[in-house]
Amino acid sequence: KNQVEQSPQSLIILEGKNCTLQCNYTVSPFSNLRWYKQDTGRGPVSLTIMTFSENTKSNGRYTATLDADTKQSSLHITASQLSDSASYICVVSRNSNDYKLSFGAGTTVTVRA
Amino acid sequence: EPEVTQTPSHQVTQMGQEVILRCVPISNHLYFYWYRQILGQKVEFLVSFYNNEISEKSEIFDDQFSVERPDGSNFTLKIRSTKLEDSAMYFCASRTDTQYFGPGTRLTVL
């Protein structure tokens, strides 16, 4: 079954600190993996997208990694800010036509001053 | 920056009533999607739409649901007879390569 599992479910960090979120997937075939940020009550916003051949991609203070062999990805947030408080969702696409995405349950990050 | 818009932001309806959720995708996008997210749960795919027809739909998307692109700009999701369990956030998305999501419509069925 096509699954996307994220950990931890939630975490709290102090402003200025770093954190890393994990994503494991069993989706097959694999086309690409994205990380989305979802603020409460809002739609997901794309942070990064990586294909099979890419193993790292950055977007500002966000850095995503991908190991397609072990089917694992991580999202690293550097020097966290209060505005980073949100749910971070790992999403895997099975084909380049992107007809259907498999969503993880998300990791809720709370940044405290 | 272009964005996907959705109306209304919040819809309250009585069980058994029909609702239409509206979306205006980004203008040069050709692929359109509806997703839902029940409170506290993960986002779930409902349906994809391309070239004026459904490309793929999930098991959630039963006969009570329908989609339409009535003109060149709007993309709608209709629920014919709402149930309590239809209460959720409904997200529209459109894409060329990466999907862009709208802000969502919160549907509350009483």
d(CA A105, CA A88): 9
Q: Which two tokens stand for residue B13?
A: 């309806």
Q: Which two tokens stand for residue B29?
A: 């996008």
Q: What is the pLDDT along chain B (110 residues), one digit of tens a residue?
A: 778 999 999 999 999 999 999 999 999 898 999 999 998 888 999 999 998 899 889 999 999 999 999 887 899 999 999 999 999 999 999 988 788 999 999 999 99
Query: Is B44 in Cβ contact with A43 (below 8 Å)?
Result: no
Q: Which residues of chain A have a CB within 8 Å of the CB of B103? A: 42-43
Whole-number Cα distances in Å, A96 to A29, A31, A67, A68, B64 = 10, 6, 19, 16, 29
Residue A2 scores a pLDDT above 80: no
Mean pLDDT of chain A: 92
Q: Which amino acid is at B99?
A: Q
A104 vs B42, B56, B93: nearest CB: B42
d(CA A110, CA A112): 6
The number of helices, as runs of H, and strands, as runs of E, in chain A is 0, 11
Count interface pairs A-B at CB distance under 8 A: 45
Q: In 3-state terms, what secondary structure has residue B85? A: helix
The per-residue pLDDT for range A32-69, each reduced to its tens digit, is 999 999 998 888 999 998 988 899 999 999 999 999 99
Q: How much is the CA Rg of chain A, to the nearest whole Å?
A: 13
The per-residue pLDDT for range A72-108, each reduced to its tens digit, is 999 999 999 999 999 999 999 887 666 678 899 999 9
Chain A closest-CA separation from residue B102 CA (Å)? 6
> What would the 3-class secondary structure string for B49-82 be?
EECCEEEEECCCCCCCEEEECCCCCCEEEEECCC
Angle in degrees, CA B95, B98, B101, rounded to 5: 65
Q: Which two tokens stand for residue A109?
A: 């990050």
Neighbour-count burial of B98, counting CB atoms closer than 10 A to its CB (0-12 exposed, 13-18 middle, 19+ buried): exposed
Q: Which two tokens stand for residue A33?
A: 């993996």
Q: In 3-state terms, what secondary structure has residue A69? A: coil
Query: Is B89 in Cβ contact with A49 (below 8 Å)?
Result: no
The pLDDT of residue A31? 85
* Complete DSSP assignment for A22-39: EEEE--SS--EEEEEEE-
